[in-house]
Structure 1
Amino acid sequence: MNAKTGGLAAWSIRHPVGVSMIALAVIVLGMFTLSRLAIDLLPHIIYPEIRVRVVDSGVPTSVMEDKITRQLEEQLAITEDAISVQSNTSRGSSSVDLAFNYGKDIDIALRDASSRLDRAKRFLPDSISPPTIYKLDPAQIPVMEFVISSPLRTSTELRRWVDDSFSKWFLNLPGVAAAEVGGGVLREIQIIPDQQRLAGIGLDYQDVIKALQTSNSDEPIGRLQMSSHEITGRISGRFTSIEEIKQLPIAQNAGNTVYLSDVAQVIDSSEDERILVRADGVSGIKLSIQKQPTANTTAVVAVVKERLAWLDSQHILPADVSVVLVADQSIYILQSLQNASLAAISGALLAMAVVYLFLGNLRRTLIIGSAIPIAIMFTCVLMGLGGLTLNIMTLGGLALGIGMLVDNTIVMLENIYRHQCNHEKPEDAATLSATQAATEVNGAIIAATSTNLSAVLPFLFIGGLTGLLFRELIVTISAAIFASMIIALTLVPAYASRVTSVSTTRLRGWVDGGINHLQNFYATFIGFLLKFRWIVVGLFVTGLVLSLPVFMSGKQIFLPPLDDGRVRVVVSADVGISLNEMDKKTQRIESLFAQQAETETVFTLVGGSVFGRSQRETPSRSTIVVQLKPLSERFVSSGEWIGRMNKLIVQQQLAGFNVRMSQRGIRGIRTNRGDDDISLRLQGNDLTELKLQADNIADKMRTIPGLTNVTHSGEDEQFEISIKLDRKRAALLGLNLQDLTRAAQIALQGQVISDYLEGDKSYDIRLRLSQATITSPQDLESIILFPATGSSPPVYLGTVASIELLETPAVIKRDNQMRIIELSATLQEGTTLGEALVSLAALREQVRLPEGYTLYDGGSQKALEEQQQLTDILMLLAMFLVFVVMAIQYESLLNPLIIILSVPFAAIGVALGINTLGLPLSMPVWLGMIMLVGIVVNNAILLVEYIEIERRQYADMAKAIVEAARLRLRPILMTTLSTVVGMLPLAVGWGDGAEMLQPLAIAVVWGLSFSMLVSLLLVPIMYHLLHSLRKSAH
């Protein structure tokens, strides 16, 4: 054979130094790229959704819906390409979500929605805070959350220090986007008028408001032109002290000046504290650190921790201030990546052990050992060029790829080794036979790589959450497969050709002896099976048919849960409970959690929720987030911990309180609007009827086995004071609805009428009545609307209006501009989403609703159905493309047909694995099966190619099949076992973060293991059968 032929492999054998230098360059570039890759838990996902949020503190839910939410929906719904508009309205808060199809340029959508929002602002009340609009980017989830507390400072003082000083220390750090402060109370100047004194001198609230607003401003007066320069001027009318506010003249009475302090108290105070924040039982202020979208999560956390340590070491952090870390994304990320890296390294070592076992030669084994890190570095270079991050998907792809990337190298090495063993002079064989051996398997390696890539690459073209989540995994695996082909065609022949001796160790003798016996037995057995071809085919087909029910069962989930130790606890109480009473009960539950050995931190919000700087008040609700210790430090899963806590909560006998616990979902991943596993929506117009029907449906859902924490959004109610104006009587007295509204607002929450500047800070000036004078709805009747004039007595609110107390929903949800109630539930351990959805589908068939009311899925069922449709399409597309690649390679249809017909039988192994281990069907399992399409054909390609070679020497087809099968047994065993063993650490699923890719690895390991039997037994039979049929047909 001419040594100048043989393509890339032959060139590599002739240029070992050049190959080594290229390999060294790849290692250096790979390490450089690896050090610069951003680190995160998951790939960067941006949902095609936009949110608009409006805050108008204290405004009742029904008023927020009517005056704000409806106006926003009407304008935003016509945003170009918007497919749905959903809203959530509560007291003082309205948020509207716009959804678009995946693939929509979200930046263009944001610009369009912003212009719609500008139009909507014309219809919104003047009292609202400026609306905010933003993309629903999981990167906005805080990477760190602190609770800052102090026993010596009031809530106002602590909030001011955190706002003005502490939070500012983190804003200039690299990668930090925001340091948002929540909780506590802000300073404000309160003016508390004495109604009787005001009325006694003929004044009302409007007089006080006018006096303050016209006396507290700096006004420009122009400029003074002088000969050589000019000077600008202003009227200095701003208040400079609280005393100056008190001494503000507001009227003249009987020749005497009436000052503000004569008719009102002026107090340097704070706003009402409506939401309480605690960490481990200590009240404080919440500080959330957000990273920039492309920033490295672990790097951001590291610099924040460094800055915090520096503040402490420099004594900038006051001695009385305590900072408690209640959330840190980097801990779980680093643990997950460490475990994925360990799985990759373990897999590589195990794969090398298998190679050594078969070759019995350390030098040849080290060739494989050197190929693995070079392939990994090559993959890292491609990851850097592709803009990928280092996350559990890409590291999992490397761990999976290690098992696969030794395939090609083993095929090349084993063939060179076999040729060297058969050569008369082994010392010459290293160089003389290497080119021939390499050329012999070039086609098989390229074909195997092409089929592997053709099976998984279609996944890159799909959209939706599945595509966003798994695209980087597929890219990484594809890069590893490509790297393995390049290394198998270059590095392996270059180094293997330099091994000048054939090992004769005792281990090699044992292994070779065992393999020889196995080869002879296998050849005899194949010869025997060829006599019973139809029976063998029938047995395999029967096994495939019996495995199908496993894939059609209801035991399906979208993604396996990740146990990061976060448990969310929602405590809800009967309507009308005071914040103080809610806090007492919440503290009892907190202390119970804190006593558990597995608990690390307990973070609590009482009376509502805090999102950055915005807050949503819900007095009858508390939220507790319990962070458990890492899995390595506890002996129970989060689900088991929740089960134990539920029993302890029952023993607390919390009458009137409902405690719901659930494991937090994967950060940044959601398949429905809420945090729960199951979501149904009931749509209709009347809130009373909606609640009645929702109560009935929720009761039915509670009877479904496997569902827990069944609740609906209409359960949370609140008392609302309804004041109805007697329009006729008010008109006779010269009053209108605006007068009534202003007086009621001042009596209850007060009205911000001006501001007070101190330095560069602005504080609200609020006019309100003393809270001691308004302790019940009936007290509102005594509010003076109009002072006495002459012989006419003062006009009280009770004179022109009636007051009643109503129960109203705390939250009003809307879907496509229609009111809904959302029913939700979480799954108990052992219950899959598919099983629950089957039960819910039956329930929906049974429910009879009034006309105009509809019950439909909240997103979970749609996500599962789309997953099933997607995987079916991808599976068929993968098989089709693999067949096309092989047909091109062979310039024939029969042999590719033989190979592709062996693929479905790998499903038998997957079914056995799922049944044995009790795994639900999830997206990673389906992805593993799609990957198997490209993997399992490798052995079949190798075997069929050698059968064709042997048929050139043997006229008898059966004899050629037996000889080819005997020769290919060793490489088939080596490649399959090395791949399977290389993936075992990932399939075992040790440590944090392993849950996501463990099902994928299990599917590949079991499927590939069984496909080895298919390749060794069924493929030779199918070859003989189909070629015999073709011969008979001709």
Structure 2
Amino acid sequence: MARFFIDRPVFAWVLAIFIILAGALALPRLAVERYPAVAPPSVSIYASYPGASPQTLNDAVVGLIERELSSVKHLLYFESSVDTSGEASITATFKPGTDPELAQVDVQNRIKAIEPRLPRSVRQNGLFVEAADSGFLMLVGLRSPDASVSEAALGDFMARNIIEELRRIEGVGRVQLFGAEQAMRVWLDPTRLTGYGLSMGDVAAAIEQQNLEISPGRIGDSPSVPGQRISVPLSADGQLSTPEQFAAIVLRAGADGSRVVLGDVARVELGAQSYAWGTREDGHPATAAGVQLRPGANAVRTAAAVRERMAELAPLLPRGVESSIPFDTAPFVKISIQKVVQTLLEAMLLVFAVMYLFLQNWRYTLIPAMVAPIALLGTFAVMLALGFSINVLTMFGMVLAIGIIVDDAIVVVEGVERIMAEEGLPPREATIKAMGELTGAVIGITLVLTAVFIPMALASGSVGAIYRQFTVAMAVSILFSAVLALSLTPALCATLLRANTRGHHGRGGLFGAFNRGFGKMTGRYQRGVASVLQRSGRVMGVFAALVAALLLGLHWLPGAFLPEEDQGYFMTSIQLPAEATAERTLAVVETYERHVASRPGIGSNQSILGYSFSGSGPSAALAYTMLKDWGERAGATAAGEVEAAQKAMSTVAEGEVMSVMPPAIDSLGRSSGFSLALQARTGQSQAELRAALQQLLKLAEASPLLSEVHADGLPAGTSVQLDIDRAKAEAMGVGFSDISNTLSAAMGSQYVNDFPNKGRLQQVILQADAPHRMELDDVLRLYVRNSEGGMVALSELVTPRWTEAPLQLQRYLGFPALNLSGAPASGVSTGQAMAEMERLAEKLPSGFALQWTSQSLQERESGQQAPWLLLLSMLVVFLVLAALYESWSIPLAVLLVVPLGLLGAVAAVLLRGMPNDVFFKVGMITVIGLSAKNAILIVEFARQLQQQGRGLVEAALEAARLRLRPIVMTSLAFALGVVPLMLAQGASKETQQAIGTGVFGGMVSATVLAVFFVPVFYVVVQGAWRWIAQCLRRRRPMPEGIVDGTEHR
């Protein structure tokens, strides 16, 4: 193949130009994102049952939906949560690879099947089925700097003009309004209502009867009588639209002309549909919408589209209103990619510098420098064809590949240069001879380096998606490198290089000093190899000790999934006692806002009252705090700001304030650390489940391996249980449904119907006015009508009692559960922390079980797959080498070097205090291929020398001498190429350091140790293999020379 291109250099250039064109056309079309779609897709179901207790929601809504979900195809797990706000959410997570759109359709069909069995109020409010990632991509806000527009008006404008615009943007999965649109609020006075002998039901019925659409038809519509000359439509005002019109609704009319209207018993106003949420931006009232990404959508493109759409809507904003995006995760994505691209360029410069130092001629250096970008461009073309994107995984693959894709070209150029210098051949003849020696090695190295990544592509789950991105980037670039090394590189060598004289390496100056030093090192190395070959037995004993050290290091190495990163923001959850009001919660939020305002590294803060990851309610709040850009922080970090916030808020007298870092991948959870669910599997009560939770939390608090372990949910609190005397109600002619409807309408709220308001249908909502629902006595003063028309006080039918009850109920896989999350202590990995939680859970009473969720579930899965992936990678490399060399012994001699590379990788990571995470596992697979590559360079030449008649030891010794320079050059080029990763700073430094440290350490040990061990492995394995063959034929004892290295033939 190489000879063909040496004779046809134009053909080689045409092939290269086609690769360049394909890559250049593909590059601008590739999507840019931080991570590809690695999280399992999820579908969420939202239901609203105003006024219902958590237990009622659980029984009447969630239980029905969960039973229907349990048979959905490809379901991984489902979890649900209900609270006192009357809101229920059920999230179904599917196996990786499931089409999220098909999953959403399947879930919607299941919900439709059971919808008639759900309570009327739930059906009336609607069930929403949406596919979206768990975290927010960004928050879009509206504010009035001069306070000329109220918070309620901001919420209504957002609902009318912004929400639907955002939902139509490609890539948006869900838009959640943290505010409320307008509604016609009917604030009832129960005392006056009772005085007129009216009930809550009477008011609702009157509104339904007098606020409805009328379709009166037409005059003269067909079929008409003969001679009809006109046909005109009729219209009538059926629906009401102003508070005054609603206040005039007639509730009762007497024969004497007297009447009672709604205004006599209620205050009617155009208010907010819900008062559950409040939003504050940098300490000032505002409204906001949370944008969640659709599973698999591109974050950067979606965020850019949202910003573009908001810019288009800016001229439509009312006077005194301005829009903002106080929280956005996309900038970190772009900065991360920019940092990796910068690292790629730095790696290329370092690699080319090493090449120039060894090759010492700009023509020799130019050839690999030309080949590397062409190989990368070809990789971009294949990525586009496979639907991949430019993300940190593919870019990491290319950074690591830089040191590999120049290897083939370096080996060829170095071989041609050596032959020209030592044998005096002209470039063309030297290239032909060099390719005859090197083609087998190039093909062998390429097959090994691509084969080693094949098992990674077979991994399942989210970790498999991560591995596949990295695998394709590296394997494809390596294949392009090999194709170019056998086509363009020899053509360039034959045409671009100039004839050399003997003694090329003896020039003066810096290069001369380097060459003399390298020559002396080569001589000492050759003597060292000869010495170890004479002590093969001892060397193999040292090797066994190193393997034992490797196994011990792997045991010591803590496990993790992905490194925790400074993504430029953090989140703070605020949870007050369950009975706390929104006013008390606001006071704590304002304290937090004053703290972040005093921090110079903080850029902005968005607080949401009434909402948190734990649940909804007046005692909860959540803050998204953005840091300034990395270049403007003066040393501030997200972890440091989290620690400062925790310290500052620890003095808050009431409630719990918890600041947390975001997860490495937003779609894999809501915070870093670990997350799990404690299930009651054998029918335990909520009290028993909470007692088990408290026991587990106390055990975790005492553990030195754990930190900030807490329950993810609303705490149990004081509630009033209303015991209804059903027998007495029946005896007094009061229907149970009348009691239920009265309580729901007065103390909760009742959605009656809709009214038109500025071109939009909005809700009409009944509720007791604020002064009439502040005390327990207000409940007992409510009246219901009996079957005889009389009014009966609830105090005669209802007995209240104070009790402790859960304000939120959670379920996991259909079992009652309580969610927990936490973090490892300083210096402890998440893997160690997870193992500690499992150990502590064994101390709980029987019947309780831990279930890992979100990122922790994926971490557990990745840890279980990793050992098999390593073994499978080594097996694949062995089989490829066996097929290539038609030998079972040569692959064994090559693979024995792998533990030496892995030892360096483990040692480097241990020294820097890093865990065994996904990126380290990727690095280990890479080190396997690189270690085998160095061994192949020696073993291939030793095999060729043996075929030429050299003895076993002599061939190994000469091959080691001849291949030392290319091994050192390629290894040094690769090692320096990953130095920018290992020493990365700024955005995304954690992931870069995680992958660079292990690979650098592995490459150093695979080079320094392998150049001495590989000749020994070759001699011992080949000698042992020969002895086994001879024993099978002659049954003679093993000669001493095989062990001490004295047998040469």
TM-score, with length taken from structure 2: 0.91
* Structure 1 position 970, deviation (Å): 0.7
Partner of 1:785, secondary structure, is strand
Give the Å deviation of 1:584.
0.8
Q: Does 1:62 align with 2:50?
A: no
- 2:462 is matched with 465
Q: Is 1:336 equivalent to 2:332 in the alignment?
A: no
Change in 2 beyond 3 A, CA 1:512/1:729 = same
Quickly say closer, same or farther: Cα 1:379–1:144, change in 2 above 3 A: farther
Q: What's the CA shift string for 1:484-535, capped at 9, x where partnerless?
A: 1111112211111121233756444333323322222222221222211111
1:560 and 1:995 in contact (8 A); partners too: yes
Output the amino acid matched with 1:122. P
Structure 2: gaps (5+ residues):
1031-1049
Contact 2:336–2:988 (CA under 8 A) maintained in structure 1:
yes
Aligned to 1:71: 64
User: Take 2:864 and 2:858, find their aligned partners in 1: how far apart are those partners?
Assistant: 10
Deviations, residues 461-501 of structure 1 (Å, cap 9, x unaligned)? 22111011231111111111111111111221111112123
Partner deviation per Cα, 1:598-618 (whole Å, 9 max, x = no partner): 1111111122249xxxx9632
Contact 1:149-1:322 within 8 A present in 2 as well = yes
Query: 2: distance between equivalents of 1:829 and 1:369?
Result: 44
Q: What code does the residue aligned with 1:667 have?
A: I
Q: Is the 8 A contact 1:47 1:137 kept in 2?
A: no
Identity of aligned residues (%): 23
Segments ≥4 residues shifted beyond 6 Å: 787-790
Query: Where does 1:360-379 land on structure 2 (aligned, <5 Å)?
Result: 360-379=360-379
Residue number in structure 1 paired with 2:1046: none
CA, structure 1 residues 571+248, in 2 after alignment: closer, same or farther (shift >3 Å)?
closer
Deviations 1:914-938 (A, max 9, x none): 2222221112112211222222111
Moved more, 597-606 or 704-713: 704-713
1:673 to 1:782, Cα distance in 2 relative to 1, 3 A: same
Secondary structure of 2:324's aligned partner: strand
Indicate conservation of the 8 Å contact 2:140/2:323, yes or no.
no
The answer to whether structure 1 residue 777 and structure 2 residue 776 are counterparts is: yes
Residue 669 (structure 2) pairs with residue 681 (structure 1): no
Does 1:285 pair with 2:287?
A: yes
- Aligned residue for 2:257? 256
Structure 2 residue identity aligned to 1:414:
E
Which residue is equivalent to 1:729? 728
Deviation track 1:81-110 (CA, whole Å, cap 9, x = no partner) reads 545442222221222233444455555444
Structure 1 pair 508–229 and aligned structure 2 pair: CA distance change class (3 A): farther
**What is the distance in 2 between the residues matched to 1:743 and 1:1021?**
90
Q: How does 1:259-658 map to 2 (within 5 A)?
A: 259-260=260-261, 261-289=263-291, 296-309=298-311, 316-424=316-424, 429-498=426-495, 499-502=497-500, 506-553=509-556, 555-609=558-612, 617-634=616-633, 635-650=635-650, 653-658=651-656
Aligned residue identity for 1:741: S
C-alpha offsets along residues 761-787 of structure 1, whole Å, 9 cap, x if unaligned? 112222332221332011211112239
Residue 967 in structure 1 maps to residue 962 in structure 2: yes
**Aligned counterparts of 2:761 and 2:585: Cα–Cα separation in 1:** 33
- Separation of aligned partners in 1, 2:850 and 2:940: 58
Of 1005-1014 and 408-417, deviating more is 1005-1014
How many angstroms apart in 1 are the aligned matches of 2:468 and 2:841?
35
The letter of the residue matching 1:781 is L
Deviations 1:174-233 (A, max 9, x none): x46478361233322233444455444543333332222122223335552245886565
- Amino acid in the other structure paired with 1:827: P
Looking at structure 2, the residues matched to 328 and 466 of structure 1 have their Cα atoms a distance apart, in angstroms, of 26
Task: Give the partner amino acid of 2:554.
Answer: F
Q: Is the 8 A contact 1:565 1:629 kept in 2?
A: yes
In structure 1, C-alpha distance between the alignment counterparts of 2:916 and 2:699, rounded to whole Å: 27
1:15-54 aligned at under 5 Å gives the runs: 15-54=8-47
Structure 1 SS opposite 2:618: strand
- Give the aligned partner of residue 660 of structure 1: 658
Normalised by the size of structure 1, how large is the TM-score?
0.92
Matches for 1:97-246 after TM superposition, within 5 Å: 97-128=91-122, 129-137=125-133, 141-143=136-138, 145-150=140-145, 151-167=147-163, 175=170, 177=172, 180=175, 182-221=177-216, 224-225=221-222, 226=224, 233=234, 236-246=237-247
Q: Which residue is 2:882 aligned to? A: 887
How many Å separate the matches in 2 of 1:339 and 1:674?
Answer: 24
The 2-side partners of 1:1010 and 1:213 are apart by 81
Q: Structure 1's 228 and 319: CA in aligned 2 closer, same or farther, altered over 3 A?
A: closer
Any idea what the Cα deviations from partners look like across 1:5-64, whole Å, max 9, x if unmatched?
xx1x22222222332233233223312211111111101235154332212234221221
Does 2:873 correspond to 1:878?
yes
| Counterpart mapping for 1:818-967 below 5 A | 818-845=815-842, 847-849=843-845, 852-855=847-850, 857=852, 863-967=858-962
Deviation, structure 1 residue 835: 2.3
**Residue 218 of structure 1: SS of its match in structure 2?**
coil
Cα 1:205–1:956 change in 2 (3 A) is: closer
How far apart in 1 are the matches of 2:797 and 2:1027? 104
- Describe the superposition over 1:726-759 as per-residue Cα deviations: whole angstroms up to 9, x where unpaired: 2232222210211111222222233222322134
Q: Which amino acid aligns with 1:40?
A: E
Alpha-carbon shift at residue 991 of structure 1 (Å)? 2.3
- Aligned to 1:754, the other structure's residue is in SS state strand
Q: Give the 3-state SS of the residue equivalent to 2:346 in structure 1.
A: helix
Q: Classify the secondary structure of the residue corresponding to 1:47.
A: coil
TM-aligned CA distance change 1:540 to 1:165, over 3 Å: same
Aligned residue number for residue 82 of structure 2: 89
Find the aligned partners of 1:852 and 1:1025 in 2 and give their Cα distance.
57
Give the equivalent residue in structure 2 for 1:4.
Answer: none
8 A Cα contact 1:711 1:823, kept in partner: yes
Q: Distance in 2 between matches of 1:560 and 1:277?
A: 32
Quick one: structure 1 residues 835 and 740, their matched pair in 2 at CA, closer, same or farther if it must change by over 3 Å? same
Q: Is the 2:50–2:749 contact (alpha carbons within 8 Å) kept by the matching residues of 1?
A: no
Q: Secondary structure at the match of 1:666?
A: coil
> What's the counterpart of residue 692 of structure 2?
693
> How far 1:998 sits from its partner (Å)?
2.6
CA contact (8 A) 1:898 1:1019 kept: yes
- Residue pair 2:607, 2:623 contacting (<8 A) in 1 also: yes
Q: Equivalent residue for 1:712?
A: 711
The residue type paired with residue 519 of structure 1 is T
| Contact 1:38–1:296 (8 Å) recurs in 2 | yes
Quick one: which amino acid aligns to residue 335 of structure 1? I
> Residue 627 of structure 1 aligns to a residue in which SS?
strand
Give the residue type in structure 1 aligned to 2:66.
Answer: E
What root-mean-square deviation, in Å, do the aligned CA atoms of Structure 1 and Structure 2 show?
Answer: 2.7
3-state SS of paired residue (2:121): coil
Deviations 1:350-370 (A, max 9, x none): 011111101110111111111
The change in CA–CA distance for 1:395 and 1:788 in structure 2 (over 3 A counts) is: closer
994 and 676 in structure 1: CA distance in 2 versus 1, 3 angstrom threshold = closer
8 A contact 1:682–1:855 mirrored in 2: yes
Q: Cα gap change, 1:767/1:297 in structure 2, threshold over 3 Å: closer, same or farther?
A: closer
Conservation of the 8 A alpha-carbon contact between 2:716 and 2:804: yes
Deviation at 1:564, TM superposition (A): 0.5
In structure 2, the residue matched to 1:3 is none
Secondary structure of the residue aligned to 1:996 is helix
- Structure 1 unpaired stretches of 5+: 1-6
Provide the rounded CA distance (Å) in 2 between the counterparts of 1:716 and 1:735: 36
Q: CA deviation at 1:171?
A: 6.5
